[in-house]
Structure formats: structure tokens, C-alpha cells
Amino acid sequence: MSARKTPKAEIAALRAEIREHDRRYYELQAPTIADAEYDALQARLKALEDVHPALRSPDSPTQKVGGAVASTFAPVRHARPMLSLDNTYNEAEIRAWGDRVLKNLPPGEAPVYILEQKLDGLSCALTYETGRFVRAATRGDGETGEDVTENVRFVHNVPMKLSGCSLPETLEIRGEIVLFFEDFKKINEEEVLAGRPPFVNPRNCAAGSLRQKDAQVTKRRHLRFFVHSYGDWRPEHDLPSHSAFLERCKEMGFSVEPFAKASSIDEVVAHYERFRDEGVSKLPYAVDGLVVKVDSFAQQRRLGFTAKSPRWAVAFKYPAQQATSIVRDVEFSVGRTGTITPVAKLEPVFCGGVTISNVTLHNFEEIGRLGLRVGDRVLIERAGEVIPKVVKVVERARGGKDIAPPRKCPVCAGPVVKEEALVAVFCDNPSCPAQVRRTLEHFASRPAMDIVGLGDAAVDQLVAKKLVADAADLYSLKKDDLLGLELFKDKKADNLLGQLSASKAKTLDRVLFALGIRHVGEKTAATIAERMDLGALLRASEADLMSVPDVGPVVAKSLHAFFASEAGRDLLARLRKAGLAMAKPERLVAAGAPFAGMTFVFTGSLTKFTRDEAEEKVKSLGGKASGSVSAKTTYVVYGEDAGSKLKKAAALGVKTMTESEFERMLP
Ligand code: IVH
């Protein structure tokens, strides 16, 4: 950090730098600095902000909930340790566990067992005081977890206020936070569309989504919580059993996954086998076993705990859906942004109900980690609906062939480059047919230009017949061009032309996203388009672009490179000539946005926000900000030395509030 910088400039630079590291950590999953170095940046920023309070800003990385790495979430010591479960893997082991249970209970007292799924998510403890949600903590090491309260507020089915009377003063419910396959798939589709690597599995994705410094990200991720146990609470005092506890939780407003009862280990085994063979694949979330619990609290007390786990409960794990096969070859697929992904071609093998012959190796670092060579026998695994992955090499081939990144693009033979911050290699030729095809598919996709009828097959034909080389060419297509393709008969051709014509009205945010500029996802495109029109974008420097919230140096560089390039400018000019409106979008107000329908006027000198920041907050929450007070104004927020606007508010009977009161209204 240069000593010549003013505090203001240094703060701005640190904020940008930290945001960029956050992005690398969370979005790219490719951090480029150590946690300690990151902490040092945060500490320096905080120190500067402490010395210069006027430069504080509510959206500074120091003010965000939690932090980018584990060390920045506050530690929470669990009132009672969060234990784990012992595992059993086969019938003999579960029978041995059942025998131990019987041995430790009085003769003739056969237990009833509760059978739950073992959810493959993140353990979380929720604390309520007089029925109100006050804290959430992750499991951590079992003794101390991390405070994720603000993020858990956005886990959809976590009640903020419990129903029912006679709630204890303090109540701690424990359970699992999971992401349904359906939501996981959507998130990964978005990640890929935005040119980012997809999450490996729902668990990882749930963990990343919960430990977000920006709780709004958590909100969009649709996490869910299912109760499985309790911490600081004694339901044993007034409830007889675990099943009664679960029923009580339902009454209080929690989600409880369906459970079954069994009165013998024979029944447990039968249930396990049924689920393993048919049930698991039908569940909407990932599970990795059955949890068998003794139902009666009295019997649980008798059985007690070992140092690590209860004796009254055990996990009966489902076998992972694994198989081994030989890697016959590795091919390279080229994505929309040119990313070259190695894909292993396997000797076809049946695993988890499907035949697998291709498996992605993600990137070359992963190949290095596995030490994989062509000819090796590998163990592959498929969990739920998640794409299969190579777990490890189980048998090295003699004379196996090393897998090196290609020197030339496998599709266009153009040069291949490696980008520093990422572990991937790229084809650097924007006219590479693979990239052109994917770019057009992306351009036409629903969240982009939403051109129905321009699917993968149509794009393939248009590119193969050289009718289209980029998005602008789509708008010069004639009916005869389409009728010359196998896919298009009269009506279909008319429909596509109609769709293309209608897409010309799409606003700038959609076009910006549709262009497929690397690192520019749907949200970033919307944020930028709300603040800059096309003319401003064409003129903007990297620094101008970085003044847009959420745009860090990498995104700014990528955008700038596009708008400054001859190819980018030419494409935009042709799109404009084709009649694309690219108008500034109306700010989208989500239904139920907290400030929807409200108009705020800020007056006087604010100390906690700049005027722009305060107005931005209002807009981001669905409200309007205005410069003058009228009868339509909902609130006038005043700082020091407020004058005529405050008087006018009083005259018109408009409500007023201090800056601190306004701050408290913010979510
Ligand atoms: S009972 C004293 N029930 O598995 C243990 N745990 O290995 C109380 N888990 O950390 C936990 N599904 O996060 C229980 N139906 C279920 C579960 C479950 C998943 C997790 C839990 C725990 C880990 C134990």
C-alpha cells in the first residue's frame, strides 16, 4: 500500500481489494492470499475507519455481517457440546448396536426406535428467547461454533417467532441446514452462466451459502432447516419421547423431516434396505444414512453418552454409490467463455442406477491432485443426483499417459492461455466455433434474451451452415435462411423471427448479461445497467466501473476490455443498428420489498451514510428517494442542521425520523 495515498484513497483501495478477495474466495473458490493476509487487510481497513469515522460506510467490508473467512465470524460457545453419531455400515454392526442397547436397558424393556434420514448438510443450533429467534451457530468443533445469526434469518423455513404457549425462556433447537437438489441445480446453472465454476455438491453449496458476508446471497439460495435434536432445553421434563419432541417442534413452526418407528432391529434393517434401494433416490435432498434413535427419553437417560456420541442413537450409513472403471481417454470441452474443461472418457460402468461413461475432471489442478493418467483405474462416486466425480486412482496403469493441458484449442486450434487467479485454461479465440455456439445459446437463454425456439440444436445448425457467427447476425436472418435448415418449417421459422424481433425490446441489463462477458452474471449486469447507460459504459474507465457496487477489479477489467475492444464495440454497434433498444431498466421492485411504496427525503448532514448511500439503500429495498418534500413523502430523514425540508414536513404532517432511526429500519 503506497504511503502517499490519502486515507480516503487507501480506504477505497482496501475495500476494493477485500471485495475482490471475497469474490475469489466465495465465487471463484480460488483464493489467492492466505487467511492471515486477508485478516491483515481487514484489520488495516478497520484501523483506518476507526481513525477517520467520517469515512465509514455501511457497505464497507468491515460492516458486513460475518466475514469472508472463518476467522471473521464471531465464535459461539455451545451451552452443551454438539456431539456426533457413531456410524454402522452393515447389518451385523447395527445388530450389535441393538444388542448393546438391550443389554443396557432393564430386561423386558424393548425400545421403540425412531428412524430418521441422516441429512447431508450442515449442523446448526438455533437459540430462541421467549419464543423469538436470537442466535444461530454452526457446529464448529462441537464445543465452539460460529455465529451465523444474520444469515440464518434468511433460511426460509426457520421461524423467527415460535407458535404456541408455555414456551421456555430459552430454547435451543438443533438441526441440519440443507439445499434441495432442485435449488442446487439452479444455483449451479447460474454459476456456469456467469462463467464461474459450479459447486461440487449441495453440501458445499449450502456451506458456502450460509457463511456469506452478504446475507442477501443466503436469502437467494433457498436453504432449509430440519430439526433433529436440541441443545439448551430439557424437553425430557415435560415430554416422554423424541417423537413427542419432534411433534412439539412442528407445532412451534419448525420443519421436521418425515420419520418412521420400528419396534425391532429386524424392522430397522427392513426399512434401511427399502430406503437404500428405492427411497433415497426419490428424496429431494442428499442423505447419507439412516439415523436410528431410541424414542423414549427415560430409556435415553439410562443409556447415556460416550465422550463423543449418544449410546441411544446411531447412524446406519448407506453405501456411497461408487464404482471403479478405467479412464480410456481425456477429452477437452470448450465452454462459452473459452474455459477448457478436461472430461474423462470411461469404460462405461453402472453406478447409482445409471451408466456412466463421461466424468468431468473440473480442471488441471484436480488432475494433479488425483495424480491421474490415462489408463488408470479410478473410483467414481455419484451422490444423489449430483454429477459423478472421480474420488481417487485405485490402480495405476503401467505406461499410463500423462494428461497435459492442450496447447491448442481442441475445437478451433487457436492459442490457449492460463488466467492467473483461476485454475482453468482458456481458448483465447472468441471466434472458436465451440465458444460461438455456447455464446449464442447463452444469448438466447431465458434469463438473457429469452428467444424461444433458438435452442442448442438450432444454434448448432446456424453455426454449422455459417449463417451466424455472432449475436448480431441473428437479427439479419431471413425466413429463407431458416427454411434452408432441417429444423425449420414454415410456422417455426415465423415464430423464431417473431421472437427475435420481440427480443429487440429487451433492456440493457438483459443485453449486458446476454453478451456473456466473462464474470458478468445476471445480478452484476442488472446493478450496472441501473447506473450506467450504454453511452456511459462505452466511455467508462475501469475506475468508473469499480464505483458500481459489487464491481471489483476483475469484473471491471473484464467489462472494460469488452467495451474498449474493437470486436465488442463493433458487435454493440451492429446490435444497435439491428434495432435493439438496450434501454435502461426500470428498477425492479421485488414483491414484498420492505420499502415498496415508500418515498424518503434526506435532509441535513448525515453522519452514518453519504446522501448517495442512503438513497441507494432506500432504492435497493424497493423504495423511492426524492429531493423534495410533498404530501406523497413517507418519511423525511434528518441529519444535523436540517432546515426548510424539516419545516415543510411538519407543515404537511409528513413523518420525520433521525438518521439512527432510519438505520434501525434497515434489514
Ligand atoms: S441427531 C447427538 N439426527 O449428523 C447427535 N443428526 O454425525 C445429535 N445429522 O452433527 C444428532 N441428520 O449434524 C441427528 N436425523 C439426524 C441427522 C443428524 C444429520 C448430522 C448432525 C450431526 C451429525 C452426526
Task: Specify the residue with its C-alpha closest to ligand 1, atom 18.
Answer: 118
Q: Which residues are catalytic?
A: 118
- Please give the single-letter amino acid code of residue 548: V
In angstroms, the Cα distances linking 273 to 259, 266, 381, 457, 604 are 15, 11, 20, 42, 70
Compute the Cα dihedral for 363, 365, 370, 375 and give only its sign: positive
**35 has a pLDDT exceeding 60:** no
Residue 116 near ligand 1, beta carbon < 6 Å: yes
Name, of 183-187, 398-402, 501-505, 654-658, the range with top average pLDDT: 501-505
Tell me, what's the pLDDT at 419? 67
What is the DSSP pairing of strand 132-138 with strand 122-129?
A: antiparallel
**Ligand 1 mean position to 612 CA, how many Å?**
47
Q: Which has more pLDDT, 365 or 449? A: 449
Residue 10 near ligand 1, beta carbon < 6 Å: no
Q: Which three cell numbers stand for residue 162?
A: 415460535
Q: Which has more pLDDT, 59 or 523? A: 523
Q: Which atom of ligand 1 is nearest to the CA of 116?
A: 15
Per-residue pLDDT of 630-657, as tens digits, reads: 888 889 999 888 888 888 888 888 888 8
Per-residue pLDDT of 596-641, as tens digits, reads: 778 999 998 888 888 888 888 888 788 888 888 888 888 999 988 8
Residue 256 near ligand 1, beta carbon < 6 Å: no
Residue 83 near ligand 1, beta carbon < 6 Å: yes
**Ligand 1 mean position to 293 CA, how many Å?**
11
Residue 119 near ligand 1, beta carbon < 6 Å: yes
Task: Specify the residue with its C-alpha closest to ligand 1, atom 22.
Answer: 84
Of 175, 168, 146, 138, which Cα lies nearest the Cα of 254? 175
CA-to-CA distance for 363 and 386, rounded, in angstroms? Answer: 18
**Ligand 1 mean position to 85 CA, how many Å?**
6
**201 has a pLDDT exceeding 60:** yes
Q: Check: CB of residue 7 under 8 Å from CB of residue 55.
A: yes
CA-to-CA distance for 613 and 502, rounded, in angstroms? Answer: 36
**364 has a pLDDT exceeding 50:** yes
Residue 98 near ligand 1, beta carbon < 6 Å: no
Q: Which has more pLDDT, 553 or 261? A: 261
DSSP H or E stretch at residue 360: strand 354-360
- Ligand 1 pocket test, candidate residues 87, 114, 123, 203, most atoms within 8 A of CB: 123
Q: Which three cell numbers stand for residue 635?
A: 418519511
Task: Specify the residue with its C-alpha closest to ligand 1, atom 2.
Answer: 83
Q: Which has more pLDDT, 525 or 46? A: 525
CA-to-CA distance for 659 and 603, rounded, in angstroms? Answer: 10
Percentages of the chain per state (helix, strand, coil), in multiples of 5:
40, 20, 40
**65 has a pLDDT exceeding 80:** no
**Residue 353: pLDDT band by 50, 70, 90 thresholds?**
low
DSSP H or E stretch at residue 327: strand 321-334
Tell me, what's the pLDDT at 372? 96
What domains can be seen in the chain, in order of their start residue? 7-55 (1.10.287.610), 75-317 (3.30.470.30), 322-406+415-426 (2.40.50.140), 433-577 (1.10.150.20), 599-665 (3.40.50.10190)
**Ligand 1 mean position to 248 CA, how many Å?**
19
Residue 138 near ligand 1, beta carbon < 6 Å: no
The secondary structure of residue 658, as a DSSP letter, is E
**Ligand 1 mean position to 238 CA, how many Å?**
23
Residue 310 near ligand 1, beta carbon < 6 Å: yes
Residue 660 near ligand 1, beta carbon < 6 Å: no
**Ligand 1 mean position to 228 CA, how many Å?**
7
Tell me, what's the pLDDT at 36? 56
Q: Which three cell numbers stand for residue 507?
A: 433492456
Residue 176 near ligand 1, beta carbon < 6 Å: yes
**117 has a pLDDT exceeding 90:** yes
**237 has a pLDDT exceeding 80:** no
CA-to-CA distance for 159 and 144, rounded, in angstroms? Answer: 24
Enter the pTM of the model.
Answer: 0.53
Give me the residues paired with residue 137 across strands: 125, 147
**Ligand 1 mean position to 118 CA, how many Å?**
6
Task: Specify the residue with its C-alpha closest to ligand 1, atom 23.
Answer: 84
13-27, 311-325, 424-438, 574-588: segment of lowest average pLDDT: 13-27
- Ligand 1 pocket test, candidate residues 113, 138, 176, 308, most atoms within 8 A of CB: 176
Q: Which three cell numbers stand for residue 531?
A: 447506473
**Ligand 1 mean position to 117 CA, how many Å?**
9
Q: Which has more pLDDT, 645 or 177? A: 177
Name, of 106-115, 334-343, 630-639, the range with top average pLDDT: 106-115
Residue 529 near ligand 1, beta carbon < 6 Å: no
1-10, 73-82, 571-580: segment of lowest average pLDDT: 1-10
Tell me, what's the pLDDT at 423? 66
167-171, 351-355, 444-448: segment of lowest average pLDDT: 351-355
